[in-house]
Amino acid sequence: MVEMHEVVPGKRFDRYHELGQHAFGGKLGLYIVVPQQVIVEVSLCIVYMVTGGRSLMKFHDVVCGDKCIGDIKLTYFIMIFGSVHFVLSHLPNFNSISGVSLAAAVMSLSYSTIAWSASLKKGVQPDVQYGYKAKSTIGTVFNFLSALGDVAFAYSGHNVVLEIQATIPSTPEKPSKGPMWKGVVVAYIVVALCYFPVAFIGYWMYGNSVSDNILVSLNKPSWLIAMANLFVVVHVIGSYQIYAMPFFDMIETVLVKKLNFTPSFMLRFVTRNIYVATTMFLGICFPFFGGLLGFFGGFAFAPTTYFLPCVMWLSIHKPKRWSLSWICNWICIFFGVALMVLSPIGGLRSIIVQAKDYKFFS
């Protein structure tokens, strides 16, 4: 994606769909890319609503402890989290949310470190089990499929990489791909530092009984766990904005250019508030974090992350058949399509299993 940003000399593909149109043609490129990118961005924002609400709820429970007066529903915590975005969503573009984005990156590394270090201090739990979580073979297969979607979900940054690269100055002598490549490498080092210690140490300490969100499994030291959950809230606030911005750009462009709306503050105010309210409502209705990850990871992220960029590369660069580039791209396409077909099955089953005992707006 980074290499193809300026694949045509003197021209920059600042949007995913612009690169798609160059690779597949004007109309076909739009029809292939835009629906999938919209699904990715909306699904991510729904998951972030759920994550933000659950983390706020955990923060409240840890801080209040036994002093809490009555139970506050998860619905209200998601609404509190959503209220922040009714303000932040009116920032104009990517550059204006750079501070929020930086805070989100720092917070993700911070709460991940707290998660694995607190787990390590807590030690291996009594009666810990390292076998499969499901009791039946069918259940294990479905969990495996859902886990594939979880993995896909971890690499969702491809969907906004061109929009981010578009903010970097570029000249023929110093093309934008130079600093962007450095940024990508640093980003994935941070991703590795966040994911691997939590995965290995969390599983070592809790086995298969660990919660979808490991911070929910931790309670002490209370001040540290409360702080970690606040870090999660800050992180998902920034992440929500990063994935909402391209959607705002797309929908406002359509409204102005296709439907002849006049560009104005009121247009931005109405469209962005409707979007935030919709994602908040869907998050309240379906607050199943693990199931949503598996379902959307395969259904939405596999195409735009794992095989669409490869198809575009083959279409634009036309590498020689059986060359290393050709083989690598076709392997990625094969696994990407398999991921798209299989992982939503496991994710959907997880949602159905969790929904059996769930009451709306509880």
Query: How far, in whole angstroms, is CA 164 from its chain's centroid?
Result: 15
In DSSP notation, 258-294 reads TS-PPP-HHHHHHHHHHHHHHHHHHHHH---HHHHHH
**47 pLDDT above the threshold of 90:** no
Note the pLDDT tens digit of each residue in 154-194: 776 677 788 788 888 888 888 888 898 998 888 888 888 88
Identify which of 282, 293, 278 has the alpha carbon closest to the alpha carbon of residue 348: 293
**93 pLDDT above the threshold of 80:** no
Q: Is 146 exposed, middle or buried (0-12, 13-18, 19+ CB in 10 A)?
A: buried
Angle between helices 324-355 and 289-296 (to 10 degrees): 150
Tokens of 319: 């590498």
What share of the chain in percent tops pLDDT 70? 90
- Where does the chain have alpha helices with state H? 16-24, 26-64, 74-88, 98-122, 137-153, 161-165, 177-206, 214-217, 222-257, 265-285, 289-296, 308-317, 324-355
User: Average of pLDDT values for 326-353?
Assistant: 83
Confidence of residue 67 (pLDDT cuts 50, 70, 90): low
Range with the lowest mean pLDDT among 107-111, 136-140, 221-225, 286-290? Answer: 286-290
Q: Residue 236 and residue 77: Cα distance in Å, rounded?
A: 14
Angle between helices 308-317 and 26-64 (to 10 degrees): 150
Note the pLDDT tens digit of each residue in 207-220: 887 777 777 667 67
Confidence of residue 234 (pLDDT cuts 50, 70, 90): confident
Q: Residue 142 and residue 348: Cα distance in Å, rounded?
A: 9
Please say whether the beta carbons of 225 and 64 come within 8 A: no
Residue 192: DSSP 8-state: H
pLDDT of residue 330: 94
Q: Specify the CATH number for 2-356; select among 3.40.390, 1.20.1740, 3.40.1130, 1.10.3470.
A: 1.20.1740
Q: Residue 182 and residue 168: Cα distance in Å, rounded?
A: 12
- Where does 72-172 have alpha helices with state H? 74-88, 98-122, 137-153, 161-165
322: left (phi over 0), alpha (psi -120 to 50) or beta: left
**290 pLDDT above the threshold of 70:** no
What share of the chain in percent tops pLDDT 90? 5
Residue 216: DSSP 8-state: H
Confidence of residue 97 (pLDDT cuts 50, 70, 90): low
3 state DSSP class of 290: helix
User: Average of pLDDT values for 336-343?
Assistant: 83
Range with the lowest mean pLDDT among 85-99, 176-190, 230-244, 317-331? Answer: 85-99
User: Average of pLDDT values for 197-213?
Assistant: 83
pLDDT of residue 324: 92
User: Average of pLDDT values for 311-317?
Assistant: 90
Q: Residue 40 and residue 35: Cα distance in Å, rounded?
A: 9
